[in-house]
Copies of this chain bind each other. A is one copy, B any other.
Amino acid sequence: MNIGTAAEKSGLPPKTIRYYEDIGLLRPDRADNGYRDYSSADVHRLRFLQRSRSLGFSVEECRQLLSLYGDKERESADVKAIAEAKLAEIARKLVELAGLRDMLRHLADHCNGDDRPDCPIIDGLAGHGTVQ
Which A positions have Cβ atoms within 8 angstroms of B?
8-11, 41, 44-48, 50-56, 65, 68-69, 72, 76, 79-80, 83-84, 86-87, 90-91, 93-94, 96-101, 104-105, 107-108, 111-113, 116-117, 119, 121-123, 125-127, 130-132
Partner of A104, one of B46, B87, B107, B111: B87
Interface centre among A45, A101, A104 (most CB of B within 10 A): A104
A132 touches B11 (CB 8 A): yes
B76 touches A121 (CB 8 A): no
B44 touches A112 (CB 8 A): no
A127 touches B47 (CB 8 A): yes
Known A-B contacts A90-B100, A97-B94, A101-B87; the reply to A68 vs B126 at CB < 8 A is: no
Cβ contacts under 8 Å, A100 to chain B: 51-52, 55, 90
B126 touches A48 (CB 8 A): yes
B126 touches A44 (CB 8 A): yes
Cβ contacts under 8 Å, A53 to chain B: 56
